[in-house]
Structure 1
């Protein structure tokens, strides 16, 4: 005889209607992402910037060459994106027309601006909302049902038979590969000025630093500009270094951080380790440990990465957990809590660490031999 299903308390009245509204929101969140993608593809943030930072719908439509027949639909898109916090409500002009403005989020989506600390995030948006990303996310349920022996592939690998950040992505789709590369660089370089200002003592007394996976040296050059006495070396894959022109400021080394890390007083891993499994992180950290002197000699590994922490508030915690799902779907890595970081540092043979500062979703961690 089949077991009787347990009784369930069914929500009623206002609670039932609120549950339905919440269900709409969660089911349709992807439309916010698609609306954001649409805004980036149309160039709306850049257009509003060029119009002085605030614009009426008519002026925005004219700047974007939107046909008159589509203006009402553009208004509906902008209303949704203002509601979700992508753009700001700019009030009304003298004619009573609604105005749309930029806020901190949409300002980092403006292209063509040369300014300190500005790294346009449009490639991050376009990669994250691409067809290949969406298809991978749709494969999560099937992925969970499959057993795996050995290292567990990412959902992206399972769906596309390709891994992000290597040659297989380019073979899958060259345009996606370019977007992912540009988006990763913009994402990683954003906020380095804030880190340098807020954690000035982080680099105090250092004579040399190796920036692992430092790309074209944007972060290393910013450090050298603020601390001219530090000799910075960038380690990255040969395919990255070969595309980088020598600038006489930073030393570039092509290599693999799993096998060797150029010796320096400090080694920096900025938004690197969350791409890798725990076992791989221990291997990377061990190489970093071998590259630095003792704590007494000023040696340290600087880890700048997300430290998952509910006390940061619901919005920031949600962003961190979404980034963790991003890692689950597209890499073999994960986002980590402080206790997770502690385990990794201990396994890699480090004696101590301290979180120097929490900056938004990220933590700045000094790790010692």
Structure 2
């Protein structure tokens, strides 16, 4: 540090020390995710939520039928990062209690993150990240295929447990996002007689829409193997098929987190089929898309960061999927035959795009 004053040298040393701490956490960041996943898989947030008083280590280890030694070390770590905390029991000993963060991992809790967290941090989902550099060096290389020998959709069709992880995670996101759409721009569903949810999975989105808009007849459309797991619901018909072939006719087509999985050419094909599905309704027909819209300049930094992170996920988990900018959305919509569209923001990282023939 030759040439620096004493104060400058001290400041530089402090910056280096902070950088080393930050890098240390980045290098070993997977430990945090693994520890949280362990707690969620074991159901520790659920156990604490259902226990009236602070729960001692011996009580928790007894409830889990496990050794207290590794459990203590994991709980100590999770308390240090704010997932759980300690509180004195009526008997004077220390026990574990929930925090606002840990309550988000209660599996049956309102707005629970548990299903999304377990999907994102499952071994199947995390393995492809080891091949991100291979994708950079060759855009035709799919990290997911490198890790598992087949693409995401084929793997999910052959592995029901993984398919369930995806469905549960998407249902969680739907329970957050669809109400945000209904609250942020309820006029989107005004005057619609029927809505087909393309790639609707277990029908969660339509159940929320029909409950809030009972005048709408819902058509839950997904692959034939996905439809049987969807529960029956008044006002909703479940239809199996292939969106690349055709889409059931309706007043409006609703697609949430579907188009970002596919290339521009595949998106244009899906959107073309959606346009044909609403054709008989003329100017009253439309397609409702709920997806991220990447801001090229400016915009809400937090929302844009979320969109850019989703784009990296698409780079790893899909062959040609991506998040799109406003210009890229215009391109695929015009190519699919839509003459105009609007983009509306909601309380989410996603936006609502209404496309008209």
Q: Deviations over 1:191-222 (max 9, x none)?
A: 32333233221111111111111122221122
Question: 1:228 aligns to what SS in structure 2?
Answer: coil
Alignment correspondent of 1:44: 44
Instruction: Give the number of equivalent residue pairs.
Output: 342
Q: Distance in 1 between matches of 2:86 and 2:252?
A: 46
Provide closer, same or farther for how the CA distance between residues 295 and 176 of structure 1 changes in structure 2, counting only shifts above 3 A. closer
Q: Distance in 1 between matches of 2:44 and 2:129?
A: 27
Provide closer, same or farther for how the CA distance between residues 153 and 220 of structure 1 changes in structure 2, counting only shifts above 3 A. farther
Provide closer, same or farther for how the CA distance between residues 51 and 306 of structure 1 changes in structure 2, counting only shifts above 3 A. farther
Provide closer, same or farther for how the CA distance between residues 198 and 107 of structure 1 changes in structure 2, counting only shifts above 3 A. farther
Counterparts of 1:264-343 in structure 2 under 5 Å?
264-293=250-279, 297-309=283-295, 311-314=299-302, 316-332=303-319, 333-343=321-331
Alignment correspondent of 1:109: 105
Q: Distance in 2 between matches of 1:74 and 1:51?
A: 20
Provide closer, same or farther for how the CA distance between residues 215 and 170 of structure 1 changes in structure 2, counting only shifts above 3 A. closer
Counterparts of 1:82-231 in structure 2 under 5 Å?
82=82, 87=83, 95=92, 97=94, 100-103=97-100, 106-112=102-108, 118=110, 120-146=112-138, 152-166=140-154, 168-171=155-158, 173-231=159-217
Alignment correspondent of 1:241: 227
Residue 185 (structure 1) shift: 3.5
Provide closer, same or farther for how the CA distance between residues 294 and 308 of structure 1 changes in structure 2, counting only shifts above 3 A. farther
Q: Distance in 2 between matches of 1:101 and 1:308?
A: 36
Residue 184 (structure 1) shift: 3.2
| TM-score under structure 2 length normalisation | 0.83
Bigger drift between 122-131 and 210-219 goes to 122-131
Q: Distance in 1 between matches of 2:301 and 2:86?
A: 27
Question: 1:359 aligns to what SS in structure 2?
Answer: coil
- Is residue 294–residue 300 contact of structure 1 (8 Å, CA) maintained in 2? no
Aligned Cα root-mean-square deviation (Å): 3.0
Which residue of the other structure, out of 229, 240, 255, is the alignment partner of 1:254?
Answer: 240
Q: Which runs of 4+ in 1 moved over 6 A?
A: 90-94
Residue 260 (structure 1) shift: 0.8
- Is residue 255–residue 288 contact of structure 2 (8 Å, CA) maintained in 1? yes
Q: Distance in 2 between matches of 1:165 and 1:80?
A: 38
Unaligned 5+ residue runs, structure 2? Answer: 1-10
Question: 1:262 aligns to what SS in structure 2?
Answer: coil
| Residues 1:360 and 2:348 aligned together | yes
Bigger drift between 304-313 and 347-356 goes to 304-313
Unaligned 5+ residue runs, structure 1? Answer: 1-10
Q: Deviations over 1:33-80 (max 9, x none)?
A: 21221111121221232135x845546555444534345313322224
Q: Distance in 1 between matches of 2:188 and 2:88?
A: 46
| Residues 1:21 and 2:21 aligned together | yes
Q: Distance in 2 between matches of 1:223 and 1:259?
A: 26
Q: Deviations over 1:117-147 (max 9, x none)?
A: x46543432332222333221122234334x
Q: Distance in 2 between matches of 1:26 and 1:294?
A: 54
Question: 2:214 aligns to what SS in structure 1?
Answer: coil
